[in-house]
Amino acid sequence: MDILTMESFIENVLIYSMAIILCLVVVVIYLRKKKKESGIVEGKIREAKEAGLHEPLSLHPFVDPNRCIQTGACISACPEKDILGIRDGKATIINASRCIGHGACFHACPTEAISLRMGTEKRGVELPHVNQNFETNVPGIFIAGELGGMGLIKNAVEQGKQAVENIVKKLKRDHAASFDLIIVGAGPAGISGALTAKKHGLDFLILEQDTLGGTVFTFPRKKIVMTSPMDLPLYGKIKLYETSKSELLDLWQSVLGKNNITVNENSKVETILSEDGIFRIKTIKGTEFTTTTVLLSIGRRGTPRKLNIPGESREKVAYRLLEPEEILGKNIIVVGGGDSAVESALLLSDNNHVILSYRQEVFNRIKPANSNALNKAVAEGKLEVKLGSNLLSIEDDSILLTTGKEGEATNYANDLVYIFAGGELPTQFLEKAGVKITKKFGEIVLSHK
């Protein structure tokens, strides 16, 4: 080997050696970066467990580690914050209780490693029994939306549409009932179901216990409704990522008006009885209707949960906040530890003296944005937070609140009381109609198989 050849050989060896060293450096940096990111996720999981947010409350993603290839697509697709993260090279759950069932992670995963499940092995979720067509164990009674465990507006709209499409397929027009279909509840699922029924020429009726919008109507006026593109029957594609309650209600009112659909408001259904294939529906006003099929889209909360304390029946006690901007200069107590309670307390704090009372020692069910806003408001002295407290009684111009481990009772001047203690699943109402209630322990509700 001559000198030139030797020099060329040495030069090539050096080049290859430098390339290998550079690759090794890149790999080491990459691995260190991933280890650091994994450690951050591990820390977030630890914090979530301490705050009681790691375990899911209802619908949530489940990751198959054997399929996950760490693309991070599920994390990027999720509209919420810190629901999923990458730990040890695999996607994992961080704050499962904050998942509200968008399902974006499910659709984004390129390896189909994610399924959506209801409940866990430890914590079950009570839900009415429905099949893939949204029909219950009682032939002719269908359920769509929040009552079936899918509370997201987009999901509820899609379920309402699909449920009525399935009703149309099995409906026999030669029946003796007054209606082909009665829809109970005028929330997103009920509205979508009504538009689909109109599209197919069904003779139908909508009964709503309160007003148009269902649960959405009870949101504070300024509350932002997080939703995503949806296909509303007889209207088309709707792209709403952030909108106010009033804008969403105006849209629904407009769509129903253009299609001559009337909602029978303040018509709470008391009983649903089946007689020879015909359902007899009775409202609390005593009015009766007959139909061959029923779509229940009433939501999971049913009746607001009460504290059952002295004075709770006073007129100043409410279970929803409708017009916060009209309430000025009042002494107010808001009871509850969820997003509704926190958001209501924040809205009221601008023009009133507000106490937010929660029986637990930490807030473990609120969104990060609400947590940050609450901490800021407390730091600025805009409202008081009483953790580990319980409302004991309600008087005309005061309330009695117990605080601390010793349960010391203190009187506070008070004009208004807002209670956000959740709602009770309308189990008795459903069971009267013959609908079975089952508890889901990690049951798959959506998978790629």
- 198 lies in the same domain as 228: yes
- Is the same domain home to 321 and 290? no
Residue 123 lies in a domain: no
Residue 149 belongs to domain spanning: 129-302+431-446
The count of structural domains within the chain is 3
- Domain assignment of residue 286, yes or no: yes
Task: State whether 367 and 383 are in the same domain.
Answer: yes
pLDDT, position 182: 97
Count CB neighbours of 4 within 10 A: 8
Query: What ranges make up the beta strands (E) of 102-249?
Result: 114-118, 125-128, 141-143, 179-184, 204-207, 224-226, 230-232, 236-238, 242-244
The neighbour count for residue 276, using CB atoms within 10 Å, is: 5
Contact predicate 345/334, CB 8 Å: yes
Same domain, 209 and 80: no
User: What's the pLDDT at 195?
Assistant: 95
Per the listing, tokens 């005028």 go with: 186
Q: Which of 216, 219, 226, 225 is nearest to 189 (CA)?
A: 216
Q: Are residues 410 and 437 in the same domain?
A: no
Q: Are residues 140 and 256 in the same domain?
A: yes
Rounded-to-integer distance, Cα 187 and Cα 391, Å: 32
For residues 211 and 313, membership in a common domain is answered with no
SS3 content of the chain, % helix, strand, coil (to 5): 30, 30, 40
Residue 376, domain CATH? 3.50.50.60
- Close Cβ partners of 303 (under 8 Å, ≥ 6 residues apart): 423, 424, 426
Q: CB neighbours (10 Å) of residue 352?
A: 19
Domain-located, residue 203: yes
Question: Are 321 and 411 within one domain?
Answer: yes
**Same-domain check for residues 201 and 232:** yes
Question: Are 111 and 161 contained in the same domain?
Answer: no
Angle CA(63)–CA(68)–CA(71) in degrees, nearest 5?
Answer: 115
Whether residue 300 contacts residue 423, with contact meaning beta carbons closer than 8 Å, is answered with: yes
Q: How many CA atoms lie within 13 A of 11 on its CB side?
A: 6
Predicted confidence at residue 91, as pLDDT, reads 84
87 in a structural domain: yes
Residue 183: per-residue pLDDT: 96
- The Cβ of residue 241 has, within 10 Å, a number of other Cβ atoms equal to 11
Cβ neighbours of 6 (radius 10 Å): 10
Q: How far is CA 320 from CA 189, 245, 335, 340, in A?
A: 21, 14, 11, 9
The residues facing 207 across adjacent strands are: 184, 264
Residue 334 lies in a domain: yes
Domain boundary among 59, 92, 118: 118
Asked whether residue 394 is domain-assigned, the answer is yes
In this structure, the answer to whether residues 89 and 232 fall within a common structural domain is no
Q: How far apart are CA 153 and CA 269, in angstroms?
A: 23
pLDDT in tens, the chain (449 residues): 566 576 676 777 777 878 788 888 777 777 777 777 777 877 777 777 766 666 766 677 888 888 888 888 888 888 767 788 888 888 888 877 767 666 778 888 888 888 888 777 777 777 788 888 889 999 999 999 877 666 567 778 888 999 999 999 999 888 889 999 999 998 889 999 999 999 999 999 999 987 776 666 666 555 555 556 678 888 888 776 666 777 778 888 888 999 999 999 889 899 999 988 899 999 988 999 999 999 998 876 656 788 989 999 888 998 888 778 889 999 999 999 988 899 999 999 988 999 999 998 888 778 777 888 999 999 999 999 999 999 999 999 999 999 877 778 889 999 999 999 877 668 888 888 899 887 777 777 666 66
Residues 232 and 322 in one domain: no
Tell me, what's the pLDDT at 220?
59
In the three-class reduction of DSSP (H, G, I as helix; E, B as strand; rest coil), residue 219 is classed as coil
Q: Is residue 354 part of a domain?
A: yes
pLDDT of the residue at 411: 93
Helix ranges (DSSP H) in 267-361: 339-348
CA distance 134 to 147: 11
Can you give the pLDDT at residue 290? Answer: 95
pLDDT at 141: 95
3-state secondary structure at position 282: strand
Please tell me the predicted confidence (pLDDT) of residue 15: 79
pTM confidence score: 0.67
At residue 410, φ and ψ (nearest 5 deg) are: -135, 140
Q: Is residue 124 part of a domain?
A: no
**With contact defined as beta carbons under 8 Å apart, do 280 and 273 qualify?**
yes
CATH number at residue 100: 3.30.70.20
